[in-house]
Amino acid sequence: MGYHFEFGWLLQYYPQIVKGVLITIELIAIGGVLGISLGIFCAWVRALGPSWLRPVVASYVELIRNTPFLIQLFFIFFGLPSLGLQLSELTAANIAMVVNLGAYSCEIIRAGIQATPKGQFEAGASLAMTPFETFRHVVLVPSLQRIWPALSSQVVIVMLGSSVVSQIAAEDLTFAANFIQSRTFRAFEAYMVSTVIYLALAILLRQVLAIIGGFIFPRRLAR
Amino acid sequence: MIEFTLWDILRNLLLATRWTIVLSLVSFVGGGAVGLILLFLRISKRRSLRAIAKYYVELFQGTPLLMQLFIAFFGLGLFGIDVPAWLAAGLALILWSAAFLTEIWRGCVEAIAKGQWEASASLGMGRLQQMRYVILPQALKIAVPPTVGFSVQVVKGTALTSIIGFVELSKAGTVVTNATFQPFTVYGLVALIYFALCWPLSKSSQILERKLNVAHRNH
């Protein structure tokens, strides 16, 4: 067919690629930390929180889990300005990722909380802890430890899903690939290389999360 | 300027929803077929076959679906094949679903007690017979809830095909927005339609899971 694969020329675009990789990392770092925090809060509400707030959180979780990330992103970036809320591409991308991961991690963390033996809540209460104190000091960390592998997978999925933020012109790795493709028409090489980078990022992120897990949960889980 | 009523918007979106449904069905069924083949490789006795299936799953789960779509769309063109958006979309989604379904089903097969394999082997059954008559019927029961749950991911995954130009619900949303300048309403409606498609699937997956658990407890 006369098409020659060449990858060497990609070197001249390395500033774009590096910038894209850094933005993808930045997005998942911010999205991961805030998303899991939101997930912990929502899981607390659903498991132990005030009863009036529970249906609100439940609808939020159901709504996010049953709609595509792309549409959530478009709604935040294109839809919210008509309510007077104008956001930059990166802010919109970050908010979308936090909102998305928040809903998924809520369900995962809630499963961890529900697996906590009831005796631990009772033990906390018998030490005159308030339910919130029991949650904060007794229940939370072992719950997170129980579901850490599932949560890690979800963070990786959100990182891979972040490739769609290029569609609102947030300049992540996919954006860089699209840019290179539009300049050179060498689509295959551009997308192949960025796919490999994504794969490496996914493997790396999994390792990083395992290391973070080792720090947060130094002790083995009591059975 | 033409005025668009809410019904105009909704009607056009619903017309495009047909393609979201068709693409979801094709991807799910096709992905299931490829996934079943991969499942046999994944639990094969030969190490090389297991490795192939394992790396396939790693590759497709470790890279963005969007990139897979781009490569299917632009990459196949290099080999002189004229790739319409629907073909690239269907192909990428089938291969992507297959990876996830293989992994889900492998978990279900491995959940079957080892004694079942040994018992059927002691009856002189071959590998395929063991799978067909002993393992799969039991694994199927555990596999139904997560498989139904995954179908939600497939429906949501089809939204990405709008980016390579396949006209389904999301693409229609963009087109209608460009015509009406009402992104809030349009994307809100698009989200609601997706919700209407996905929520029953999520719910039935949950209900099936609960039923199955009850069945387990009564053992």
Query: Could you report the per-residue pLDDT of B39-65, keeping only the tens digit for each?
Result: 999 998 899 999 999 999 999 999 999
Contact between A66 and B198 (Cβ < 8 Å): yes
The three-class DSSP label of residue B63 is coil
Q: How far is CA B153 from the centre of its chain?
A: 6
Smallest Cα distance from A189 to chain B, Å: 9
Query: Could you report the per-residue pLDDT of B170-196, keeping only the tens digit for each?
Result: 999 999 999 998 999 999 999 999 999
Q: Which residue has the tokens 């609100």?
A: A56
What is the mean pLDDT of each successive set of 10 residues along chain A, which is 223 residues long?
72 90 96 96 92 95 96 94 90 96 96 90 90 89 93 96 93 92 86 94 96 87 62
Of the partner residues A70, A81, A160, the one whose CB lies closest to the CB of residue B159: A70
Cα nearest neighbour of A156 on chain B: B62
Cα–Cα distance between A93 and A74 in angstroms, integer?
A: 9
* Sign of the Cα pseudo-torsion (B41, B42, B48, B52, in order): positive
Contacts of residue A156, Cβ cutoff 8 Å, sequence gap at least 6: A202, A205, A206, A209, B62
Of the partner residues B62, B75, B194, the one whose CB lies closest to the CB of residue A199: B62
Comparing CA positions, the residue from B145, B208, B131, B153 lying closest to residue B31 is B153
Cα–Cα distance between A63 and B194 in angstroms, integer?
A: 10
Partners of A199 on chain B (C-beta within 8 Å) are 59, 62-63
Comparing CA positions, the residue from B77, B60, B76 lying closest to residue B68 is B60
For residue A158, count other CB atoms closer than 10 A to its CB: 23
Length of chain B: 219
Judged by CB atoms closer than 8 Å, whether chains meet at B63 and A70 is answered as: no
Taking any CB pair shorter than 8 Å as contact, residues of chain B touching chain A are 59, 62-68, 70-71, 74-75, 77-80, 152, 156-157, 159-160, 162-163, 170, 173-174, 177, 182-184, 187-188, 190-191, 194-195, 198-199, 202
Partners of A74 on chain B (C-beta within 8 Å) are 170, 173-174, 183, 187
Cα nearest neighbour of B196 on chain A: A66
Q: Report DSSP letters for B185-201, one per residue.
A: HHHHHHHHHHHHHHHHH
Contacts of residue A100, Cβ cutoff 8 Å, sequence gap at least 6: A35, A64, A69, A72, A158, A161
ipTM of the complex: 0.90
